[in-house]
């Protein structure tokens, strides 16, 4: 297996999906060992920091990539297997940001209120115990929360000649901010342009479902990634994720019900592909069996998840069993 | 403990929250052993049935109650502990209904399409194995899904002189359709009128998060319920649920993000009451620790859940520890 | 023509649609000369008043009625012709109210911000010049705005056994807050219960489209109303309004696009009834010919309007020409 | 005045805002005489055409441009005065398109229904009488509708390094589809990149408010445009339009209430700039004086309008009276 290691310099970050020249050309089957900077571009490091003072809002959510996958053509399916996600620092940061967040006035939920107060929280990571530490600022309270590393942002170049900010989630993936994007899963994305041009970033050491204030426990991440290309199958309209235990579809739109509807329709299509269920039967099965944890209710589009446990379903091999194959390969890298 | 057993006759069903005379007057501390009819009023019993033909849409979602709680006054908090939920039949039913369901044109998502086809599924219950059986109709596929009994509808009389259909979820509870409403939990509701006038119904032997097609595995239910009244504490704006493992708040509105926002604001208030966290700290904690499984995306209002694991939090005794107390009592009834 | 004059005492106000005994039983063809109190129940009278201090939020938007119409049955259409709307006072009032308004945090758009500041504006009415006077408080600016009297609230008892607050607009009409509800129009409402039980209130001396802050130039109103009953025609799903120049349908829901979609579907149905256009042709005609002024984006449901100019259409006589008939009658009362 | 005439060849069309090299570099003060192709790229010419058969969905809504304005820098305001809009053909076309339209299932309002039937309407233009002719296909009905030429799409390169499809409306303008964009108005747009890089297209011979089915009376257009650049004033967050009679702001987002809120916040800012009104006074004034006609409820973002009549306001000279100046110049070109 070819292994490519890459830690981008600051001037090499990508800020968009599409519109950027690839940093590498790789072949399917490559293993990438990447470093990703945090969504704050590393600028938020202290509880005394105010986001509006230390952040450059034109340089948030830096991406590592994009990678040009040889042979990838529109209509193919890109499979990205997250072999390992390891926090690259011993702390993560989160902050309220003026006019951002699910419970805040924003440029889209445009009301007449003053912005919420700014506050920054720093989470220390205890690698041995596998926890990050929440430290309240209004009272004397410290809580240990399990460290559950994930990537907020995984995406390819968008369709329709568009270039989208790395802050946006949509059909091309992007800033979906779902805790489902953790080590051990395979993400399937529709290839929209030659080479697919995928990139990753936005490591979270932990995130709640919905990402209420808009920023998770943001942290630089060491990412080990296996890349595969699937030809000759219908590519998914919306991003799919496969884990050992679940099938997952992520929809992104506004209002939130439309994001969720997209994930449901995506799952109905997937169940049809896997088992031959017609749409009404798949609709019924989801009605009784779907899990629907929210991903984010803060980004340019909201993201919602439909997932279903493999334990409830007959055995199947999505995309010819590529997930199982990559899962095994991942043990060797 | 006073025990009241009650199986309503068909003419005794309540179809609304508010606007109905109580069937019983009970004192706090009472144990109720109730029977609830399914949401179809028992009319949908065969896969050959079409909802539009066998249902009377003016008689759906019958409620058992309402119960007048002696001493309950506006501003008090009603605590309903679901001691036991036992399927009262050996089968449940689900069906698509014209102009109803999350992935269907409705009177609210009013488009020009013809209604979706009608199809009815009957789920056989295997009590020994604790499963209900999904039988596909488009292909030869049968799946066993765990039986997870829950109540779709738990509510009190609404505020503001209103009378609401039993199909509606809102601040008074009602048709929230969340799988969180299962045996072993305590539901806290704000009392809006003298006597609280609560009722329950809409048993589901199982439901996915979101209740996609609009009808879960609907089934008659035997319900054992403990009733308490909490005076002198701020009553919750939105319904709260406490289990042994989680604090849960249910918000209901449209669009879906507003339902979820309400549940988040409700949880921020609860965390403030329990621990003294200020709103920004609670907002931050939710950002990293909240679970956000959807309840329903089909009813007059959508319902979304914010929950947080007690294991992540310091010990606390919500409402003076009433949940633990009722949980113990429940073992004796 | 029978004429009934009625000015309710304060204890006679209705606060809901449905759930209230009729104040009068009238026959179709009756002329009502009514007085309606303003939405603040007359309590907001000075720019020094703060809404949160002087209002009783359990007593806002008082209705005059309900009226029981002899012979009205579910499925009939009630026609209410607004013959005259005359301001009953020489001033109107408007105010920001905490947690209310389109550009404010509310219990539904639940964010963490403090409420907006409260401010009250009093508009003096100049009857001779037909204007109300806006007086800015931040700078020295006074503007004369045309006095365009309208009723914010016209409705019947709801279907489905419900009782709804007079603050709510929905299929039964209610608090639609559209400037289209002015003198000279006929409003068509589906009868849901025996007697229809309609009431009116919430006079506005003037209102912008959308009613941004949630309160128009609110003022007591003298209302002259002609009542007709239409049997044997399909009753409209959503409220319709006919003027000399336009056909209008009002939809109410959330999110706002659903309110508008309802109004569009309602108009497509009406064009089908009037001309026999099929749904695609009517859809196309609306695409090019509809006017879509917003009504309110502040109430429990938002209300949106679809209207179409009669001058663009062939002659037709909706409901047998009842509007023209009532318009003529109105000149005599 | 420098005059540039330009009719793009088919290979010169722009399909995005941003991401395209300018076809011309012009100086402020230039008069452009342009030709724009219709949104169907001229492919839909007969009622026998089905959109799904004759359209290439990767080549819809072609733009003429972009134009690089010398001296334009981020933060400046671009003023585009529409001097003349003249239909360039004697007919226009409209069509339902599968999975597109306000009353249709779409990729965003993703439901399980089959697409609506396809139908194409051709409107003959009678230049003498100034009307286009609607011909129903379900019955024998022809209607004359006034020809009101407008541009659906006017925009600059987006901020944040993005490239957006010409189908999208947002802060950069784009596919707003508002009938307010007619001859005689001046459109103000925030400059986001050097040279502004604006383009125009999507002529409509007529459009209803909301553009229900998604396609107006689409037609090629001869466009005479005056270009000015405004330095040293706060650039508008959302597109503004000034006519002889109204100030207009266009907001674009989803859900629809957020589009409208953006337009309201934009107008409150403008009233503050023009008159010094504080935000509460401006909010109040809009409450009583705003007109709120919808623009589109069909595009990637919905667009809503807030407008206010100049006749209700004191005299003012927005941007130093540039509209009046351009209006006069327009008479000479």
Interchain CB distance below 8 Å, D107 and A262: yes
Residue whose token pair is 């709307």: C85
What is residue C270's three-state secondary structure? helix
Let me know: does B1 contact B31? Beta carbons within 8 Å: yes
Sheet holding A3-6, edge to edge: A3-6, A31-36, A221-230, A77-87, A186-190, A240-242, A246-253, A302-309, A294-296
* A146, β-bridge pairs: A131
Cβ-based neighbour number of residue D44 at 10 Å: 25
pLDDT number for residue B203: 98
Per-residue confidence of chain A (333 residues) as pLDDT tens digits?
Answer: 899 999 999 999 999 999 999 999 999 999 999 999 999 999 999 999 999 999 999 999 999 999 999 999 999 999 999 999 999 999 999 999 999 999 999 999 999 999 999 999 999 999 999 999 999 999 999 999 999 999 999 999 999 999 999 999 999 999 999 999 999 999 999 999 999 999 999 999 999 999 999 999 999 999 999 999 999 899 999 999 999 999 999 999 999 999 999 999 999 999 999 999 999 999 999 999 999 999 999 999 999 999 999 999 999 999 999 999 999 999 998
pLDDT number for residue D293: 98
Contact with chain C for residue D284, Cβ under 8 A: yes
Task: Please identify among residues 106-145 of chain A the ones whose CB lies closer than 8 Å to any CB of chain C.
Answer: 109-114, 116
Residues of B in contact with C162 (CB under 8 A): 16, 162-165
User: What is the per-residue pLDDT across B214-230, written as a single tens digit (0 to 9) for each?
Assistant: 999 999 999 999 999 99
Let me know: does B268 contact B251? Beta carbons within 8 Å: no
Torsion angle of C-alpha atoms B292, B298, B299, B304, degrees rounded to 10: 10
Per-residue confidence of chain D (333 residues) as pLDDT tens digits?
Answer: 899 999 999 999 999 999 999 999 999 999 999 999 999 999 999 999 999 999 999 999 999 999 999 999 999 999 999 999 999 999 999 999 999 999 999 999 999 999 999 999 999 999 999 999 999 999 999 999 999 999 999 999 999 999 999 999 999 999 999 999 999 999 999 999 999 999 999 999 999 999 999 999 999 999 999 999 999 899 999 999 999 999 999 999 999 999 999 999 999 999 999 999 999 999 999 999 999 999 999 999 999 999 999 999 999 999 999 999 999 999 998
Interchain CB distance below 8 Å, D108 and A161: no
pLDDT number for residue B1: 85
Q: What's the CA gap between B262 and B254, in Å, rounded?
A: 11
Interchain CB distance below 8 Å, D110 and B116: no
pLDDT number for residue D268: 98
Let me know: does C164 contact B300? Beta carbons within 8 Å: no
Give buried/exposed letters for A71-94 (b at 16+ CB in 10 A, else e). Answer: ebeeebbbbbbbbebebbbebbbb
pLDDT number for residue C227: 98
Q: And the tokens for C38? A: 């303003």
Let me know: does D294 contact D305? Beta carbons within 8 Å: yes
Burial class from Cβ neighbours inside 10 Å (0-12, 13-18, 19+) for residue A159 reads middle
Q: What's the CA gap between B16 and B174, in Å, rounded?
A: 9
Q: What's the CA gap between A111 and A128, in Å, rounded?
A: 45
Q: How many CB pairs under 8 A join B and C?
A: 77
The more confident residue out of A256 and C1 is A256
pLDDT number for residue A1: 85
Q: What's the CA gap between A180 and A249, in Å, rounded?
A: 10
* C174, β-bridge pairs: C154, C169
User: What is the per-residue pLDDT across D192-225, written as a single tens digit (0 to 9) for each?
Assistant: 999 999 999 999 999 999 999 999 999 999 999 9
Residue in B300, B293, B251 with CA at minimum distance from that of residue C258: B300
Contact with chain C for residue D100, Cβ under 8 A: no
Interchain CB distance below 8 Å, A278 and B102: no
Let me know: does C133 contact B289? Beta carbons within 8 Å: no
Chain D, nearest residue to B254 by Cα: D255
Q: What's the CA gap between D61 and D63, in Å, rounded?
A: 6
Q: Is the peptide bond before A255 cis (omega within 30 degrees of 0)?
A: yes
Contact with chain D for residue B253, Cβ under 8 A: no
| Residue C1's pLDDT band (cuts 50, 70, 90) | confident
The shortest CB-CB distance from D109 to any of B109, B114, B116 is to B109
Give buried/exposed letters for D148-169 (b at 16+ CB in 10 A, else e). Answer: bbbbbbbbbbbbbbbbbbbbbb
In a 13 Å sphere around the CA of D241, the CA atoms on its Cβ side amount to 29
Residues of D in contact with A58 (CB under 8 A): 160
Residues of B in contact with C104 (CB under 8 A): none
* Bridging pattern class, strands B63-69 and B24-26: parallel
Could you tell me the CA-to-CA distances from A131 to A127, A149, B27, C3 in Å, in that order?
A: 7, 11, 47, 78
Let me know: does B276 contact A138? Beta carbons within 8 Å: yes
Per-residue confidence of chain B (333 residues) as pLDDT tens digits?
Answer: 899 999 999 999 999 999 999 999 999 999 999 999 999 999 999 999 999 999 999 999 999 999 999 999 999 999 999 999 999 999 999 999 999 999 999 999 999 999 999 999 999 999 999 999 999 999 999 999 999 999 999 999 999 999 999 999 999 999 999 999 999 999 999 999 999 999 999 999 999 999 999 999 999 999 999 999 999 899 999 999 999 999 999 999 999 999 999 999 999 999 999 999 999 999 999 999 999 999 999 999 999 999 999 999 999 999 999 999 999 999 998
pLDDT number for residue B199: 98
Let me know: does B241 contact B187? Beta carbons within 8 Å: yes
Could you tell me the CA-to-CA distances from D45 to D36, D38, D90, D94 in Å, in that order?
A: 16, 11, 11, 9
Report the length, in residues, of chain D.
333
Interchain CB distance below 8 Å, A107 and D237: yes
Largest CA distance in chain B: 58
The secondary structure of C108-131 as a DSSP string is SS--SPPPPPP-EEEEEEETTTTE
pLDDT number for residue D242: 98
Task: Please identify among residues 313-332 of chain A the ones whose CB lies closer than 8 Å to any CB of chain B.
Answer: 313-314
All residues at 6 or more sequence positions from A293 whose CB lies less than 8 Å from its CB, including other chains: A178, A179, A180, A209, A305, A307, B209, B291, B292, B293, B294
Q: ipTM, 2 decimals?
A: 0.98
Residue D92 has phi, psi (to 5 degrees) of -130, 165
Contact with chain A for residue D21, Cβ under 8 A: no
Q: What is the 3-state secondary structure (H, E, C) of chain D?
A: CCEEEECCCHHHCECEECCCCCCEEECCCCEEEEEECCCCCCCCCCCCCCHHHHCCCCCCCCEEEEEEECCCCCCCEEEEEEEEEEECCCEEEEECCCCCCCCCCCCCCCCCCCCCCCCEEEEEEECCCCEEEEECCCCCCEEEEECCCEEEEEECCCCCCCEEECCCEECCEECCCCCCCECCCEEEEECCCCCCCEEEEEEEEECCCECCCCCCEECCEEEEEEEEEECCCCCCCCCEEECCCEEEEEEEECCHHHHHHHHHHHHHHHHHHHHCCCHHHHHHHHHHHCECEEEECCCCCEEEEEEEEHHHCCCCCHHHHHHHHHHHHHCCC
Contact with chain D for residue B47, Cβ under 8 A: no
Å from A100 to nearest chain C CA?
11
CA R_g for chain A: 19
The fold of D3-330 is Jelly Rolls (2.60.120)
Burial class from Cβ neighbours inside 10 Å (0-12, 13-18, 19+) for residue C237 reads middle
Residue D246 has phi, psi (to 5 degrees) of -140, 150
Largest CA distance in chain D: 58
Q: What's the CA gap between B47 and B123, in Å, rounded?
A: 10
Residues of A in contact with B144 (CB under 8 A): 312
All residues at 6 or more sequence positions from D242 whose CB lies less than 8 Å from its CB, including other chains: D185, D186, D188, D248, D318, D323
Residues of C in contact with B166 (CB under 8 A): none
Å from B124 to nearest chain A CA?
14
Cβ-based neighbour number of residue C198 at 10 Å: 29
Interchain CB distance below 8 Å, A297 and B143: no
E strand intervals along A131-185: 131-135, 142-146, 150-155, 164-165, 169-170, 173-174
Residue B280 has phi, psi (to 5 degrees) of -70, -40
Let me know: does C152 contact C202? Beta carbons within 8 Å: yes
Contact with chain A for residue B309, Cβ under 8 A: no
- Angle, to 10 degrees, between the axis of helix A256-275 and the axis of helix A279-289? 120
pLDDT number for residue D1: 86
Chain C, nearest residue to A107 by Cα: C103
Chain C, nearest residue to A112 by Cα: C103
Burial class from Cβ neighbours inside 10 Å (0-12, 13-18, 19+) for residue D249 reads buried
What is residue B267's three-state secondary structure? helix
Residue A318 has phi, psi (to 5 degrees) of -60, 135
All residues at 6 or more sequence positions from C153 whose CB lies less than 8 Å from its CB, including other chains: C61, C63, C166, C173, C174, C175, C176, C177, C199, C200, C201, C202
Q: Which chains touch B (3 or more CB pairs under 8 A)?
A: A, C, D
Residue in B106, B109, B33 with CA at minimum distance from that of residue B67: B33
pLDDT number for residue B56: 95
Q: What's the CA gap between A202 and C56, in Å, rounded?
A: 50
Å from A220 to nearest chain C CA?
30
Let me know: does A173 contact D174? Beta carbons within 8 Å: no
């Amino acid at each position: 297996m070819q292994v490519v290691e890459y830690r981008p310099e600051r001037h090499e970050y990508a800020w968009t999906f599409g519109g950027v020249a690839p940093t590498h050309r790789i072949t399917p089957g490559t293993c990438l060992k990447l470093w990703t900077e945090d969504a704050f571009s590393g600028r938020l490091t202290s509880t005394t920091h105010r986001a509006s003072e230390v952040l450059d809002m034109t340089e948030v959510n830096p991406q590592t990539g994009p990678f040009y996958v040889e042979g990838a053509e529109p209509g193919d399916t890109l499979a990205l297997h997250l072999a390992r996600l390891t926090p690259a620092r011993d702390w993560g940061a989160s902050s309220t940001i003026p006019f951002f967040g699910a419970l805040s006035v924003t440029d889209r939920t445009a009301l007449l209120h003053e912005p919420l107060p700014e506050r920054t929280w720093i989470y220390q990571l205890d690698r041995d115990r596998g926890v990050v530490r929440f430290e309240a600022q209004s009272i004397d309270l410290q809580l240990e929360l399990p460290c559950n590393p994930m990537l907020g942002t995984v995406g390819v170049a968008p369709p329709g000649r568009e270039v989208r900010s790395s802050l946006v989630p949509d059909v091309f993936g992007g800033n979906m901010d779902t805790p489902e994007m953790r080590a051990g899963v395979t993400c399937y994305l529709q290839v929209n342009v030659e080479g697919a041009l995928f990139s990753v970033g936005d490591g979270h050491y932990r995130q709640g479902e919905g990402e209420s204030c808009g920023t998770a426990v943001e942290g630089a991440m060491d990412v080990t990634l296996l890349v595969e290309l699937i030809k000759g199958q219908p590519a998914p309209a919306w991003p799919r994720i496969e884990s050992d235990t679940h099938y997952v579809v992520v929809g992104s739109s506004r209002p939130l019900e439309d994001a969720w509807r997209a994930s449901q329709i995506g799952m109905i299509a997937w169940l049809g592909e896997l088992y031959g269920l017609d749409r009404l039967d798949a609709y019924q099965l989801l009605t009784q069996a779907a899990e629907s944890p929210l991903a984010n209710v803060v980004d340019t589009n909201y993201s919602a998840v439909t997932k279903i446990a493999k334990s409830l379903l007959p055995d199947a091999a999505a995309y010819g069993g590529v997930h199982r194959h990559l899962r095994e390969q991942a043990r060797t890298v």
